[in-house]
Structure 1
């Protein structure tokens, strides 16, 4: 865990949630009302809870004192899905048992036996995460038949923690690993997801529906998945928080794969405290499949295990334990925690002058808070870009064949290619499946050249972060998460060469995107990355950065704005 004690990290994170509104409730409310008066937002509960701004600790406090129920919270989110999602198309389906799950949580709250911080909290799942009671399609009609026979391990952990599985979100079909020029946020099952800030702009990355739903306050938290950028880029482009955990910390069992060497599921939310609390539930004792798997569990995240109401807290005295933690938190203002922190800023001017200006303002705010910000350029990036993709092709062929063997439908990648050729609906936005075809022809993962390439990728990606942090004595490296959202265009495809996610994604190290600012109404995130299993430290630092930047603004659902921002 390092020098910071469990109690100190707990106090900092929860103090930020309770005392500052995470990060600025006034700005959130003003931003939401400024341009959406014609929208049936329904963002407040009868008890005065604003869904845009409320945090999980605040919800649990209200449920503990009886002023809020999980059923009322779930109904409020279901109403927002009904009222708002027809314009952004982020939610594929609602769980038929959502209200029954909420009622069961209410019974536990009445008995004083809640299961942890997510008990009664609505969660949306990306539709490449297996659920036994709902279809899991990866956005493809090929998997749109019977649901999987079992839940993904991470879903089991959420259910055991008492979370309300609200439904499934749209995604880029096959997690954007089908065509060479895909359109992010489009799937044959769900159509096109739109960016809630400007509706003709793209939501980025394969976890597009999860991020857009959070931006529109359609759930308290959501689950995304990433191979390289597909949690953090949607988080940045939709103005929310996204955490890509260290590889192996969250089980990948039951998640549609691209590569066991890089894949991970991770939490997304509108603030860092909710993201951290969700990770405390997702990180289980079972390691992920495939290369690089290591045992997980909250024992691997001691800083998160100490969060009030976290998994493992004695249920008999949960309310008392939570209250004691919150009282201790109020003695430690979050704003002091950046003092003396050393952050390396990787500017990435290729993302344009407007994004660079956001980074300049960000660096100024962090320095004003006492951080030391130095400019860095992590090495080996050109080589990583050269050899990552061929390795992923070989790994996808291996891993998707194994997954398809567990499902009804095409039995393997070759069968999947034939399915797409014979189903015109799969070609309604873009026709290509070049990545499938290249993967089918790629060398197997037993090939010596492939093995050498993956070994080099692991070595160079880790050195790119480790050497940079050691040379400048850094607590984290920061970079722009994303450019302003490009216009969605099926004929052109994405405009998404975004290199900041690659070092941590390939290394299996954690990364965290928090809102940093905006360009012409379009959010830009700040991506923080650190060394292996430094997830707790990174989340603590991210909470302090979030508080200082105060960059969150609610979407205004504008139909369009200006010209293409790149």
Structure 2
């Protein structure tokens, strides 16, 4: 029974349905793995008692023939950006110390309605600002993977690093993540799992602590494309509490994944062939093209001419929105409060103590680009270029159905290797930020190992609200790659 935590969601649902094991057994296997590998620092808060009680309730329902929904009895981890009623929610920040929400985020509420079990809240970069999970107030998360012959601790990627590590290390069958500039897809690639960033508006943002409101999107992180389809089907849906939520029916994603790619037109953007791109990444990209071609897809080179502006545009818009969103954390209503000699002093002392270095950096950048005299030069110009980036994709999708790119410019790096160089850290998002700026769906699928034995991912980008095609192409890559590697010892 100790190997139950290695099951996929699909296999676990089958085992629960046939009464091969119970939800309690499944949950206990995950809890034991969590306890065994606390050194990875994947969780901020563990909810063992709640998890076991929820699992027992699931077993009672199944015994009575009344299974609740598509995830009944499945143990999951929840990124600590999702508000969970009565359970500590920190966003990886000191400033939210002691915050126990009185409400539940819509996405997590959807999961509980489907019968899922919450194992705990997962560590993350502070306020989702980071590409390494090194900015969390609760310390860095460690990737369970190691380079061959080298025990250097590696980053799991960010900001959803705790989610990625929990899934890769078999602590949870799946996890929720959020993606503002690559925060699901990059850590998924670094840890050898599948991560999907849905179309902006596909999953509700209500109850998710905001970073950059026009870019943030919740999505699933799983070990297979099929599990990703199952999770997305539960997480997605219209929510009247979120004005950016789109009122569209949620397709049967699980049914869609086996449609194959025969006749599908796959675009390969020439602008993503960057100077200095790792030869191993380039080779894997070509392999991905070959895999899709062998399965009947038609390959076309496309151009996305404004790609080179994506990173600077992102690092103007995202900090600008962050500086606005984070103004609410003032020590008055919730979370940390540091006494001061006056109200203004209390604000200053609380924010200085509560926000980490990276958050302070981005708030300062954001405040600067929104300030009088610089708003037109930076923020408005960035928004205009963002519109051109979207137009690039709109034009490309007139000729192709899906776009294939690498997920990241490198494999996972050491915990200390880029932390003191924010620009080098920001470059990790070079292949992912365009998707957020354009509001499109994108998936990272594990496709191979580099020469040092670390996982590498391929990214597929689709038309808005066409997650079905993205998942279908992702399944084709998954089938061809046959990625079965896992971190040693896990």
TM-score, normalised with respect to structure 2: 0.87
Determine which of 316, 324, 327 is the counterpart of 1:398: 324
1:302 aligns with 2:251: yes
CA distance in 1, matches of 2:120, 2:15: 24
1:28 maps to none
Looking at structure 1, the residues matched to 67 and 392 of structure 2 have their Cα atoms a distance apart, in angstroms, of 43
| Equivalent residue pairs, number | 469
2:189 aligned with 1:262, yes or no?
Answer: no
CA distance 1:414–1:241, shift in 2 (3 Å): farther
Distance 1:505 1:167, change over 3 A: same
**Residue 445 of structure 2 corresponds to residue 514 of structure 1:** yes
SS of the residue 2:322 aligns to: helix
Partner of residue 350 from structure 2, selected from 413, 419, 423: 419
Does 2:414 align with 1:487? Answer: yes
Candidates 43, 46, 50, aligned match of 1:94: 46
Listed as ranges, the matches of 1:163-174 within 5 Å are 163-174=116-127
Distance 2:96 2:438 in 1: 31
2:198 is matched with which residue: 240, 245, 248?
245
- Structure 1 residues 119 and 456 mapped into 2: Cα distance closer, same or farther (>3 Å)? same
Change (3 A) 1:495 1:260: closer
**Structure 1: stretches of 5+ with no match in the other structure:** 1-41, 46-50, 178-182, 309-328, 559-566
Instruction: Compute the displacement of 1:455 (Å).
Output: 4.5
Partner of 1:21: none
Q: CA deviation at 1:448?
A: 6.6
Q: 1:466 to 1:170 in 2, by over 3 A?
A: same
Quote how far apart the aligned CAs of 1:284 are. 2.6
Q: CA deviation at 1:406?
A: 6.5
Give 1:348's match in structure 2, choosing from 255, 268, 273: 273
Structure 1 residues 221-370: aligned runs within 5 Å: 221-286=174-239, 289=242, 293-296=244-247, 299-304=248-253, 307=254, 334=258, 337-346=260-269, 347-349=272-274, 350-370=276-296
* Residues 82-121 of structure 1, C-alpha deviations (whole Å, 9 max, x = no match): 11232x2212221131100111111111122222211111
Counterpart of 1:467 in structure 2 is 395
8 Å Cα contact 1:131/1:155 also seen in 2: yes
- Residues 413 and 133 from structure 1, CA distance in 2 versus in 1: closer, same or farther, beyond 3 angstroms? farther
What secondary structure does 1:97 align onto? Answer: helix
For 2:370, what is the secondary structure of its paired residue?
A: coil
SS in 1 for 2:81: coil
Give distance in 2, aligned partners of 1:151 and 1:416.
Answer: 28
Change (3 A) 1:271 1:207: same
Counterpart of 2:138 (choices 168, 181, 190) is 190
Q: 1:287 to 1:242 in 2, by over 3 A?
A: farther
Summarize deviations over 1:35-85 as a string: whole Å, max 9, x none.
xxxxxxx8514xxxxx43x33232222212211211110000001111123
Distance 1:187 1:389, change over 3 A: closer
Return the offset for 1:236. 0.7
**Candidates 79, 84, 103, aligned match of 1:150:** 103
Residue 483 of structure 2 is aligned with which of 551, 559, 563?
Answer: 551
The alpha carbon displacement at 1:401 in A equals 2.9
Deviation at 1:402, TM superposition (A): 4.7
Please point out which of 425, 434, 438 is paired with 2:361. 434
- Aligned-pair distance for 1:403? 7.1
CA RMSD of aligned residues (A): 3.0
The aligned runs of 1:39-58 (5 Å cut-off) are: 44-45=3-4, 51-52=5-6, 54-58=7-11
For 1:146 and 1:390, how far apart are their aligned partners in 2?
A: 29
Q: Does 1:388 align with 2:341?
A: no
CA deviation string 1:381-433 (max 9, x = no partner): 1233333322222211222235778733369999776435347xx76xx6883
1:340 alignment partner, SS class: coil
Does the alignment pair 1:408 with 2:335? yes
Query: SS of the residue aligned with 2:56?
Result: helix
Q: Which residue of 1 aligns with 2:149?
A: none
- Quote the residue 1:10 is aligned against: none
Q: CA deviation at 1:273?
A: 1.1
1:233-253 Cα offsets, whole Å, 9 max, x none, are: 001111101110111111111
In 1, Cα distance between equivalents of 2:62 and 2:480:
34
Name 2:79's counterpart in structure 1: 126
Distance in 1 separating the partners of 2:345 and 2:165: 33
Q: CA 1:402/1:287 → structure 2, altered by over 3 Å: closer, same or farther? A: farther
Residue 125 of structure 1 and its aligned partner are, at CA, apart by 0.8
Alignment partners' CA distance in 1, 2:345 and 2:461: 37
Residue 416 to residue 164, structure 1, CA distance change in 2 (3 Å): farther
Gaps of 5+ in 2: 147-151
Q: Distance in 2 between matches of 1:260 and 1:202?
A: 26
* Alpha-carbon separation, structure 2, partners of 1:414 and 1:385: 35
Please report the TM-score for the alignment, with normalisation by the length of structure 1: 0.76
- Structure 1 residues 416, 111: CA separation in 2 closer, same or farther (over 3 Å shift)? farther
> In 2, are the aligned partners of 1:205 and 1:230 still within 8 Å (CA)?
yes
SS of residue in 2 equivalent to 1:477: strand
1:364 deviates by 2.1
Greater relative CO (CA pairs within 8 A, separation 6+)? 1
The answer to whether the 8 A contact 1:90-1:213 is kept is yes
